[in-house]
Amino acid sequence: MEIRPAVKADVIEMCGPEMKVTVRAYAIEDNGELLAVAGIAYGKRTVCFGDIKQSVKRSPRSILRLARKVTALVDKCKGPVFAFPDENEPTAERFLAHVGFEKLDGGVYVWR
């Protein structure tokens, strides 16, 4: 599995065309198949986002390598960066805490 900078087409494929803000992200690709995109969306709030296909979960090491690259981007941000855990992913909150986000009231996470 290869981790590379994401391009606009990657973000649209994984997250949909509704993301109309500036994005810096990375992608996981395996044999030409896009498996994950994660990064930062700069809008009214700076938000960390990610979308991962089930098939990438067979490689937790790749997910952690992707998370390290994204948290390096988050570290460079001025001001707070927010994250919203996926309600359909039972380990989302634990993963956000593991990589360094702090839980706020209402289920929102922040990186200060």
Among candidate residues 40, 104, 50, the one with its CA nearest the CA of residue 74: 40
Question: What mean pLDDT comes out for the span 31-39?
Answer: 94
Supply the pLDDT for residue 54: 87
CB burial class (10 A; 0-12, 13-18, 19+) of residue 103? middle
Among candidate residues 16, 62, 57, the one with its CA nearest the CA of residue 70: 62
Look at residue 18 and tell me whether its pLDDT is greater than 80.
Answer: no
Return phi, psi of residue 102, to 5°.
-105, 140
- Tracing tokens 């839980």 back to the chain, one arrives at 103
Supply the pLDDT for residue 60: 86
